[in-house]
Copies of this chain bind each other. A is one copy, B any other.
Amino acid sequence: MASKVFSFSRRCLSRSPINQKTPCVQHIPSVRQEYSISHKLNRSTTELSEEQVSTLKIDRDRLATDLHHSCQWGPGIRWGQNPTDTGMQRLTLSEEDKHVRDWFVQTMSGLGCNITIDQLGNIFAVRPGRRANVPATFIGSHLDTQPTGGRYDGILGVLAGVEAVKTMVDLGLETEGGIGVVNWTNEEGARFPISMMSSGVWAGKISLEHAYNLKEVPTVASLPTAASAPETVKTALDKIGYCGPTPCSHEATLMAAHFELHIEQGPHLVSAGQRIGVVTAVQAYRWYKLQVTGRDCHTGTTAFQHRADAMYASARMMVKAREVASAHGCLASVGIVDARPGSVNTVPGLVSFSLDIRGPETADVEVVVRQLQQDFDAIAADEGKEIGKPCRVEWQLDFDSPAVNFHEDCISCVQQSAEAVCAQDVGVTDSKSLVRTIMSGAGHDSVFTSKVVPTSMIFVPCKDGVSHHPEEFTSADDCATGASVLLQAVVRYDRQRFQS
């Protein structure tokens, strides 16, 4: 504890409104939230000194408790003995997602926030500032997960927002503009195959109609009937009661800026022993659905030269994709594969697969795509040529996210905050070594918010760089460091807006 202002004693239980209704917390023995606030600021951000801002920090244990509490809805694959040693499987707009949304709304209402739910189920919770009629500065991320996801991707970003507001309430810290926390619907794109879907609609980059009509991917769908009667985004929203009345638009729900805390999902911070990544940019990526058409035939009677085997051609394409992407410093990945008719003794005549291509710059991705289009055409033409019925390959672009550069004002707030938070542990001189600027490999809701409002992100390390996996893990200390940087960043941004 570097600052006396925020010393917590461990005498008083149940100060948090959350604690009063969290029966499941008792099974997480390592995390306790016995604390009381001994000093209140009772000021606005603009009335703090720079030193006071630099010592602001959130409550590590309360954040951990709340985070694992929220993970009671949709626990996934168990990988260890501790109660929290499970992944998450909380597909967007599922029953589990409804439960965590209800919890989020209740929690934020209990903290004095106004709740807005828009047409895509985005939940905006705003703690009012001193000034009416100015847009709030937002903290945002997502509560949905991959089908075999972990406890931190997205969840940490929203829970850190909840914790930042709790800390402000506890401290009596007012803001000039409001401070909001937003839970974006279907960031993952796992159940409905467009990632960052609802921030995309909010930013005006995806049409509401398109989002509403998206059908769930059968393989990861929440319902067993998904293959025959897939739900759409709209039916799923209606089913869980989260289709709100407010238009999903940045013109309807205003935002001054968007800050997002996220696990890195890569190995750079953890390899370098660093604590905070100041995210300045997001790499470009495109999602394609490829369809390879050959000809069904009998596996036992058809010589190789008489085949137009769509699976064999697809396998060659998958191997080629890595080779070409690698040569251009990019990534290419196949996540979904569907071979038809899907019988052991019939050579598939129709295969579709997803292709996710990423690179530092938009142009890098374009180069890889052009090269692969040529290569795949050649592979397709080669398979079935001897029977005069070569395979064909068709590309369908499902999603295009050009490279993004974040806003310098937001980056600056994050950079200052990161150094300030780290300085409390290692001193000002060494704090810079714990912080690095970094490019995001993954897409995030901040990609879309950056199109219309100043945006930046904060990364914290995750174990082995692993994400989209049940064993995804970030320590409670790292979560807390990130959340404190987040708190200070929004405070700094609020001060910047209204101090001058």
Query: Measuring CB to CB, which residues of chain A are less than 8 angstroms from any residue of chain B?
Result: 146-148, 188-190, 193, 195, 217-220, 224-225, 227-229, 264-267, 283, 285, 287, 295-304, 306, 309, 311-312, 314-316, 318-319, 322, 325-326, 331, 333-349, 351, 354, 356, 358, 387, 398, 440-443, 464-470
> Which of B298, B315, B356 meets A441, CB within 8 Å?
B298
Q: How far, in angstroms, from A74 to B193 measured CA to CA in the complex?
A: 33
Whether the Cβ atoms of A296 and B228 lie closer than 8 Å is no
> Which of B302, B304, B341, B465 meets A301, CB within 8 Å?
B465
Since A266-B301, A344-B356 are in contact, a sample of 16 more A-B pairs with Cβ atoms closer than 8 Å, ordered by chain A residue number, is A148-B296, A189-B345, A225-B228, A264-B301, A265-B301, A295-B466, A297-B469, A298-B442, A302-B465, A304-B325, A304-B331, A311-B337, A315-B316, A335-B339, A335-B342, A337-B338
Can you list 8 A-B pairs with a CB-CB distance of less than 8 A? A188-B343, A190-B346, A287-B344, A298-B441, A299-B358, A337-B338, A344-B398, A387-B464
Contact of A334 with B339 at beta-carbon distance under 8 Å, contacts A224-B229, A304-B322, A304-B326 already known: yes
* Complex interface: chain B residues within 8 A of A296 (CB): 146, 148, 468-470
Whether the Cβ atoms of A148 and B322 lie closer than 8 Å is no
Contact of A283 with B265 at beta-carbon distance under 8 Å, contacts A333-B309, A334-B311, A335-B345 already known: no
* Complex interface: chain B residues within 8 A of A297 (CB): 465-469
Q: How far, in angstroms, from A466 to B296 measured CA to CA in the complex?
A: 8
* Complex interface: chain B residues within 8 A of A337 (CB): 311, 337-339, 351
Least Cβ distance of A259 to chain B in Å? Answer: 20
* Complex interface: chain B residues within 8 A of A189 (CB): 343-345
Q: How far, in angstroms, from A354 to B283 measured CA to CA in the complex?
A: 37
* Complex interface: chain B residues within 8 A of A442 (CB): 298, 300-301, 345
* Complex interface: chain B residues within 8 A of A349 (CB): 148, 469
> Which of B314, B356, B398 meets A300, CB within 8 Å?
B356
Q: How far, in angstroms, from A227 to B230 measured CA to CA in the complex?
A: 13
> Which of B325, B335, B346, B387 meets A344, CB within 8 Å?
B335
> Which of B312, B354, B466 meets A318, CB within 8 Å?
B312
Whether the Cβ atoms of A342 and B283 lie closer than 8 Å is no
Q: How far, in angstroms, from A455 to B171 measured CA to CA in the complex?
A: 89
Contact of A342 with B220 at beta-carbon distance under 8 Å, contacts A297-B468, A316-B319, A468-B298 already known: yes
Whether the Cβ atoms of A467 and B298 lie closer than 8 Å is yes
Whether the Cβ atoms of B465 and A306 lie closer than 8 Å is yes
* Complex interface: chain B residues within 8 A of A343 (CB): 146-147, 188-190, 217, 220, 335-336, 468
Whether the Cβ atoms of A342 and B224 lie closer than 8 Å is no
> Which of B331, B345, B348 meets A195, CB within 8 Å?
B345
Q: How far, in angstroms, from A349 to B469 measured CA to CA in the complex?
A: 9
Contact of A266 with B302 at beta-carbon distance under 8 Å, contacts A193-B344, A344-B195, A347-B333 already known: yes
Whether the Cβ atoms of A468 and B224 lie closer than 8 Å is no
Whether the Cβ atoms of B267 and A306 lie closer than 8 Å is yes
Most buried by B among A298, A306, A464: A298
* Complex interface: chain B residues within 8 A of A295 (CB): 466, 469
> Which of B225, B287, B306, B309 meets A225, CB within 8 Å?
B225
Whether the Cβ atoms of B340 and A148 lie closer than 8 Å is yes
* Complex interface: chain B residues within 8 A of A335 (CB): 299, 311, 339, 342-348
* Complex interface: chain B residues within 8 A of A304 (CB): 322, 325-326, 331
Q: How far, in angstroms, from A351 to B315 measured CA to CA in the complex?
A: 13
* Complex interface: chain B residues within 8 A of A218 (CB): 227
* Complex interface: chain B residues within 8 A of A285 (CB): 300
Whether the Cβ atoms of B299 and A341 lie closer than 8 Å is no
* Complex interface: chain B residues within 8 A of A387 (CB): 464
Least Cβ distance of A95 to chain B in Å? Answer: 15
Q: How far, in angstroms, from A146 to B342 measured CA to CA in the complex?
A: 10
Whether the Cβ atoms of A334 and B312 lie closer than 8 Å is yes
Q: How far, in angstroms, from A134 to B344 measured CA to CA in the complex?
A: 39
* Complex interface: chain B residues within 8 A of A336 (CB): 339, 342-344
* Complex interface: chain B residues within 8 A of A316 (CB): 315, 319
Q: How far, in angstroms, from A341 to B146 measured CA to CA in the complex?
A: 8
* Complex interface: chain B residues within 8 A of A264 (CB): 301
| Nearest 3 interchain pairs by C-beta | A224-B228, A219-B342, A301-B441
Most buried by B among A306, A309, A342, A467: A342
* Complex interface: chain B residues within 8 A of A265 (CB): 298, 300-302
Whether the Cβ atoms of B217 and A342 lie closer than 8 Å is yes
Q: How far, in angstroms, from A318 to B383 measured CA to CA in the complex?
A: 14
Least Cβ distance of A445 to chain B in Å? Answer: 14
Whether the Cβ atoms of A148 and B301 lie closer than 8 Å is no
Q: How far, in angstroms, from A469 to B300 measured CA to CA in the complex?
A: 14
